[in-house]
Amino acid sequence: MIDFPSSLLKKQLLSQLQRGKVLRIQLHFQGTPRFKRLILLNKNFSSDDVYYVLSTSQVQFYLENRNFPPIKDNFLYFREGQTCINQDEDMVIDCRRIYKIAKGNLLKNYQNKRLSILGDTPAHILREIEIIISNSKFIAQKIKSQVI
């Protein structure tokens, strides 16, 4: 196996950090390391913070609670294959919370092969995410200004 220099990996990753890019990364989520899909939201990637929403295949909770605040109107549901982002099962994009991660953490995961780039979120889905975020009562205006 060929090991690439850190500077080359950094350049390669930074060139891929774009609005709507979908990453698969291993995160410690609810105390356990798990691979999650992130959809990048930044308007500008010049700062160290990268903002994203999570997608999940755990759709049952959302479907059972779809009419109750704070779930109602704050998530997108897609059947298998509808999103074109390497989705092999039903998926929810939860827009109630915007997370952030430092570029340095992304790079570390990329170097350790715990991050892969899956593709781009279709423009119409990204627009739906933007609408939910702009109407959200759960997301601070300071964060909204970074992503919409």
Averaged pLDDT for residues 59-71 = 79
pLDDT score recorded for residue 66: 79
Tell me the pLDDT tens digit for each residue of 6-20. 777 788 898 999 999
The continuous run of DSSP H or E covering 119 comes out as: strand 115-120
Query: Given phi > 0 = left and psi -120 to 50 = alpha, else beta, which region is 69?
Result: beta
C-alpha dihedral sign at 132, 87, 50, 60? positive
Tell me the pLDDT tens digit for each residue of 97-140. 999 999 999 999 999 989 999 999 989 999 999 999 999 988 99
Two structure tokens written together for 23: 């990453």
Per-residue pLDDT at 1 exceeds 70: no
Name the nearest CA neighbour of 36 among 101, 103, 104, 124: 101
The domain locations on the chain are 6-147
The span from the CA of 117 to the CA of 38, in Å, is 10
CATH class as words, domain 6-147: mainly beta
Tell me the pLDDT tens digit for each residue of 71-83. 778 888 888 777 6
Which percentage of the chain shows pLDDT scores above 70? 93
Which is more confidently placed, 24 or 3?
A: 24
